[in-house]
Every structure is written in C-alpha cells, then in structure tokens.
Amino acid sequence: MSARPRRRHQPEEEHENEERWMASYMDMVTVLMCMFIVLFAMSTVDQKKFAELKDSLATGFGQVKSQKIDTATGVIVPPAHVDDTGKNTDLELAIKEAANLKALRDRILNALARDGLTHDVTTKIDQRGLTIGLVGNETFFASNRAELSDRATRVLNDIGPVLAPAPYQVTIEGHADFRQPGAPYPTNWELSAGRATSVLRHLVEVNHFPQVRIAAISYGSARPLSNATGSSESDLAANRRVDVVVLSNQPDRVRALIPQALNAPVVGAG
C-alpha cells in the first residue's frame, strides 16, 4: 500500500492593508496646515505696534517733527550718552572752552602785572584758542637779531610757568615785516624762524614746558596783521612779532563757536 504524499504547509495569503495611505495623507495635510499658519502669521503685521516702534526709533534719532508724544516703552538713553553733534551741546562745549581760555589768559596777565609787564603783550581769544602776542622787535629782540632781550626773558618767565601745566598744545609763530633783512639772515623766513625758536627754547629749557606739546613755525612776512598792512612804522612794528598760540583741543565744529561763546553765560569751566 503506497504512502500518501505529505501535504506541504502552505503559508496563509497575506491581506494587503489598503488603509496605510491615509497615515501619509494625514501627515502631509498636517504639514501643509502648519506651513499655511506660518505664512499667515508672517504676512500679518500689527499696525499699531509697528507705528509705535517707528515713532520710538524716529524720536530716538531726533527725526520726529510732530507734536505727538511718544509713549512707546523701552530703554531711555541718558542725555550724557547721546552723541554731541547737536548744536546746543556744541555751544555748551564752546562756552566751557572759552571760559577755560579766559581763565588761562587772566592767570597770565596777573603774573605779568606783578612785574609791570602787562603792556608788553597782546592777547586774543578766537576759534584757534588763546594768542599771546609778543609785538615789536625793539622790546623782545634787537634789530635784525634772534636773541631774546632781557625784557623778553622776563615776560617769558611769567608766561611759561602758567602755560606749562595747562593741557594744551602750543605753537610759537614767528613773523616779520615785508622789508628785506640784513646778514646773517638771507630772508625773513630765517629771521622769523630764529626768533620763534629762541622763544621755544627758553620755554622748554628754562620754564620746563613739555617739549612734546610745543612747536616753532616761521611765517616770514606772509601773514601780516589785517589792521597793519601798510608801510608806516607802526604797521611794520606790529608785524615784527612772535605769537605764542595756545591751541584749543576741541573739535572744529566746537572751536568755530568759541567767538560766539565768549559773551555767553558760563556753564562751568574745568
């Protein structure tokens, strides 16, 4: 009797899940919904908050010309930290600088007055700073010479100790009248340079003025005084001069206001 063939085990047929696509579809719909929500949020601007922000920024930069008060909240910048480019702030700085220069001038004149030398110098305050004029070579220099006279050294000994501690740069500017000098100076450039250098050396070597803050300049006869352009003896004497110029260390925009600030109320010198 023949054996029956064994029936092999047939695996059950798997049923295809026809609903899997719904999970992917729902994920895609969720992502699209999120994307549209984000796009909508980006396209919607709170006009009120935007206007407040715009007004606040405009007020901070000084561009608002309306009479409305900016009520936007935020950090208020203290005036002391605001850039000093405003006209009023520049004028205040110019007033302080003018007061400092006038105080320096008064200390110099007081020192000269004790020795009876006040009338040997002229003083002027303008946008450059303080100019102390040593006018007339008969007082400070012998004719056609660059060596200091005894009176010149007395004047400088009063000026130097006042100028030395002041926080300013100083230039010593030599000038001459238009006439041709004699030997040993071939031109007025050399003569005025020699006189300016003599003043500089005395201030540095005798009065201990810091040499890093001082320089000598020769102008020859190129810069006569505006009120002494003639050929009279008084005009010639006025242009034979050496100017000790105390240079203001303020920015150009502030120095330009110093002449206006000279008669203004003093805010505070320091």
Structure confidence by residue, pLDDT tens digits, 187-203: 999 999 999 999 999 99
Is residue 242 within 8 A of residue 172, CB to CB? The reply is yes
Q: Is residue 127 part of a domain?
A: yes
In 35-186, at which residue ranges do the beta strands (DSSP E only) sit? 121-125, 129-135, 169-174
Q: Is residue 155 part of a domain?
A: yes
From CA 166, how far away is CA 244, in angstroms rounded?
Answer: 14
Q: Is residue 58 part of a domain?
A: no
User: Number of folded domains in the chain?
Assistant: 1
CATH code: domain of residue 201: 3.30.1330.60
247 backbone dihedrals φ, ψ, rounded to 5° = -85, 125
Confidence at 110, pLDDT banded by 50, 70, 90: very high
Q: Is residue 270 part of a domain?
A: no
Q: Is residue 102 part of a domain?
A: yes
Q: What is the pLDDT at residue 89? A: 87
Q: Is residue 249 part of a domain?
A: yes
Average pLDDT, integer, range 3-11 = 55
pLDDT tens per residue, range 226-260:
888 888 888 887 788 899 999 999 999 999 999 99
How far the first Cα of the chain sits from its last, in Å, is 133
The structure tokens 């922000």 sit at: 53
Q: Is residue 50 part of a domain?
A: no
Q: What is the pLDDT at residue 69? A: 46
Please work out, in degrees rounded to the nearest 5, the angle formed at the alpha carbon of residue 176 by the alpha carbons of 124 and 184.
145
pTM of the model: 0.65
From CA 197, how far away is CA 177, in angstroms rounded?
Answer: 18
Q: Is residue 66 part of a domain?
A: no
Q: By percentage, how much of the chain surpasses pLDDT 70? A: 71
Pairing of strands 214-218, 121-125: unpaired
Cβ neighbourhood burial of 60 (10 Å; 0-12, 13-18, 19+): middle
Domain that holds residue 158: 87-261
